[in-house]
Amino acid sequence: MSLKKHCVNLNDYIKNKKQILIGRQKVISHIIQILCKMEKPCPILIGEAGVGKTAIIKYLAQMINKDNVVSKIKDYQIYLFNIHQMMAGASYKGELEEKIESVFKDAISKKNVVLFIDEIHTIVQAENNIADVIKQYISNDSVKIIGATTLKEYCIIEKDKALKRRFTPVYVEEPTQEENISILRGYKEKIENYYNIKIYDKSLVFITSITKKFFYDLYEPDISLNILEETASRISFELNSEPIELINLKQKINILSLEIESKKLDNNPNIESLLEEKKTLEQQCKEKKDKWEKIQNLILSIQNNKNYIENLKNEAEINTSKNNYELAGKILYYEIPKIQNIILEKENEIKDYGISINIYITKLEILKTISQKTGIHLNSLNHLMDIQDLNNFLNQHIKGQEQAILKLCQTIEIALSGFLNEDKPIASFLLLGKTGVGKTETAKKISEYIFGHKDKILIFDMGQYNEEYSLSTLIGSPAGYIGHDNDGLLTGAVKNRPYQIIVFDEIEKAHSKIYDLFLAILDSGVIKDRKNQTISFKNTYIMFTSNIQIPEQQEGESEDSYKNNINKILIKTFRPEFIGRLDNIVKFNDLNKDMIYQIIQLNIKQYTDNFYKIHKITIEYNQQVIEYVYNKSNNSLYGAREVKQTIKQIILIPIIKHIKQNKKISNICLTIKNNTLLIQ
């Protein structure tokens, strides 16, 4: 009774299910060989989480059910031994050991039982006598156990020499991409039938090629299957939800109804045209809704027929195993094709309704799922991202830096096309130029374009990291020091949000020890924090900024000559190996009068647009206002930063005071008279 109470019989669990396993024949054979041993018949599966250790054992149970194993184990029953559940249910000291002992005694009495203990390392870690209880029973080979653990956690087992001797390791490697594609193909029909969608084969190939780039710390086939099923689930949800055109129609009708009610109160004579418009929209809505309900019935019918086909396939398999080939053939070659034709007719009927319905998992749908999981904008995930669009976007917001922006965009395009080293950050830059020329603002705008928000960016002022001990702030404190349990500011942020832009501002101020950290990031794309956790920077854009003075390129000076001159200046401050690991060095121009005029105009426009959005007040100004701001700005020292501060002081604050004094105004005109701002 203890086995039934505390364990799950996998042979029974898998009986009416189809467990798929591709490329694991050698592993299965090795497990069976160990189970057949006279002494120490206990295999332990060692492999990373997600490689399919539990799936292998379920498949073994299915093989036993189908009598596809050697005679020595054909009657075996595999029970899943859930150690965590038993620990949670223990209420007094010694109860857990009693439960485990009763399970083992029950297993011995039945003789043909194999206990599968997942995460078996926990029995050694537990602060009780579980390991001693288990060793007591497996030391004389009276019970067979299959263990499972990861490579890292197998070290815990190895420390217990007596326990380690009783198990034979079976290593479960991550499948190759070809094997992974085959695994997904094996699940394809099952997922299609469950979610009532269709999967292109090229989509399976695409999933296996892209998942590692975004989920480096997860393992195949688990992550690819998760992406595939999440995509199928989302499309299925959309299929069963009202179409967007129907939702939009309903919203228009609601808005129109509110407008009609409002005008009724005002006795407005134009109400008749609104009522007519509402009537037309309601008719359109009814037609769309009727179509949608008919389509929903067709989708339900298709799903029911697909489920019926699955039942027929199981019936055919049972008849084949009983040598009833005539009935099996009738099912496979008459009944199933007949139902498949009905499904095809109903799918064509859906197309005839003319409503756009997506039932296919395409590359785009997979990217949508990855976008949801990572927070990266869909457009930016596509390796064919419109770099010209990014270029235009940046030039709209960053004035006077066309060449710097072009260099950045070209490097990002090369990186996203797969030509740069994938074992590094996506792209890395050193941005050179005076304070206020737009280096950090450019990074923020790239973040806004790629991730949808300019605040999805990590900025470190390296002036605060000029001491050797400040390295601990970035990657965590060493063991034994205060704060060792806390993540570093850099490593913790990247661990929690692996997809982002990281700016190290005024990099020349950083301590030399911190450069060792940068070299590791730029070289391999991963570092270890002080907790020995691997942190990947492979999905980040790294931008270093520096205020080191670099002369402008002289007229007639070649690009190569100018680059060499820049490098000669840089190696006086930075290590050559640091410069050599960067994807590009980008020089930002010093701001001239025309550039500052553009920046002033851009900032005033942004502020006036915001005023109109919030207060519905239009603000007009002329060229004299821009000249007034220019003359008041100390342009040479802080560049665009000084411009913004000046606008706030001499434009925004007076406007706000004026609005408070004149609450009913809808228009403001800014002029300059006698070098003084007038607000009218």
Three-state secondary structure call for residue 457? strand
* Average pLDDT, integer, range 410-439: 82
Confidence of residue 225 (pLDDT cuts 50, 70, 90): very high
Mean pLDDT, residues 57-81: 90
Between 263 and 617, name the one with better pLDDT: 617
Query: Quick one: pLDDT at residue 384?
Result: 45
Alpha helices, H only, 359-399: 363-374, 378-381, 387-397
Is it the case that residue 626 has pLDDT exceeding 90? no
pLDDT value at residue 67 = 87
Query: What does the pLDDT read at residue 27?
Result: 92
Residue 90 pLDDT class (50, 70, 90 cuts): low
Which amino acid belongs to residue 414?
Answer: I
**Cα 187 to chain centroid, rounded:** 22
> By percentage, how much of the chain surpasses pLDDT 90?
15
* Cβ within 8 Å of residue 515, ≥6 positions away: 574, 575, 578
pLDDT of residue 247: 81
Tell me, what's the pLDDT at 29? Answer: 93
Strand pairing class (43-46; 534-536): unpaired
pLDDT mean across residues, the chain: 82
Q: Are 361 and 231 in contact (CB under 8 A)?
A: yes
Cβ atoms within 10 Å of 88's Cβ, excluding its own: 10
Tokens of 434: 């005076």
Query: Is the pLDDT at 462 greater than 80, yes or no?
Result: yes
Q: What is the 3-state secondary structure (H, E, C) of 130-160?
A: HHHHHHHHHCCCCCEEEEEECHHHHHHHHHC
Question: Which amino acid type is present at position 255?
Answer: I
Strands (E) in 345-445, as ranges, are 360-361, 427-432
Q: What is the pLDDT, as a whole number, of residue 123?
A: 75
Residue 507 has a CB neighbour count (10 Å cut-off) of: 24
Q: What is the mean pLDDT of residues 469-473?
A: 87
Cα dihedral 456, 462, 468, 469 sign: negative
Q: Is the pLDDT at 546 greater than 70, yes or no? A: yes
Q: What pLDDT does residue 538 have?
A: 87
pLDDT value, residue 551: 76
pLDDT at 97 over 80: no
Q: What is the pLDDT of residues 7-24, one digit of tens each?
A: 889 999 988 777 778 888
User: Tens digit of pLDDT for each residue in 482-534?
Assistant: 666 778 899 899 888 888 899 999 999 998 889 999 999 998 888 888 888 88
pLDDT above 70 covers a percentage of the chain that reads 91
The C-alpha atoms of residue 241 and residue 358 are separated, in whole angstroms, by 12
Predicted confidence at residue 481, as pLDDT, reads 66
| Residue of 557 and 395 predicted with greater confidence | 395
**Widest distance between CA atoms in the chain:** 105
pLDDT value at position 639?
66
pLDDT of residue 503: 94
pLDDT reading at 471 higher than 60? yes
Q: How many residues does the chain have?
A: 680
User: What SS3 class is residue 217?
Assistant: coil
Predicted confidence (pLDDT) per residue in 373-390, tens digit:
887 777 667 644 567 788
Q: For the chain, which domains are there?
A: 2-171 (3.40.50.300), 177-239 (1.10.8.60), 244-352 (3.40.50.300), 380-587 (3.40.50.300), 593-679 (1.10.8.60)
Q: Is the pLDDT of residue 309 over 80?
A: yes
Using one digit for the tens of pLDDT, what is the confidence trace for 667-676? Answer: 878 787 777 7
Q: Which amino acid makes up residue 274?
A: L
Going by pLDDT thresholds of 50, 70 and 90, the confidence category of residue 134 is confident
| Mean pLDDT computed over 211-220 | 80
Distance in angstroms (rounded) separating the CA atoms of residues 537 and 111:
52
